Amino acid sequence: MSHYRMEIEIYEGNGGRLKHHDGVVVRPDFVNEGVCAWMHYGDGENSYQVGHRFNYPVDNGKICPWLLGSMDGFIKALMYGGTLPWDYKGTPYEKVVDKEGVTTEFVRCPDPSKCGIVVKLIRTRVDG
């Protein structure tokens, strides 16, 4: 059986910039500014931005639980060697499928507003 490493990369989204005033975090107008609250609060010091990566499952506690729920079925399929049938050819979400190397999949969070984000799941085969 193959073994895989899974990473989650923020592919689209707006984290804004975490700002403090007198030691208190200044909240943006999340919905009207299209800022994802989870990305905004980030690690408590800095907002998460597009390109930020998390290791699955080690970093699960750092990831929005709603987003994790959206990814659950995709991650399970990928971790057991599966792939999903759509490929999104010619779009920004075009997948890479290589069972012997790297396979990617894109997942949108459940937030229907412009605050919603897209992550790229990156499965890498690890010999072992």
Q: Each residue of 27-40: pLDDT tens digit?
A: 999 999 999 999 99
The confidence score (pLDDT) of residue 105 equals 96
Question: For residue 64, which amino acid is it?
Answer: C
Instruction: Report, in angstroms and rounded to the nearest whole number, the Rg of the chain calculated over CA atoms.
Output: 16
- Distance in angstroms (rounded) separating the CA atoms of residues 59 and 77: 19
Structure pTM? 0.93
Q: Which residues pair with 104 in a beta bridge?
A: 122
- Dig out the tokens for 120 from the structure: 């790229």
Task: For residue range 90-124, list pLDDT tens digits in order.
Answer: 999 999 998 788 999 999 999 999 999 999 999 99
Helix (H, G, I), strand (E, B) or coil at 19: strand
Q: What is the pLDDT of residue 127?
A: 79
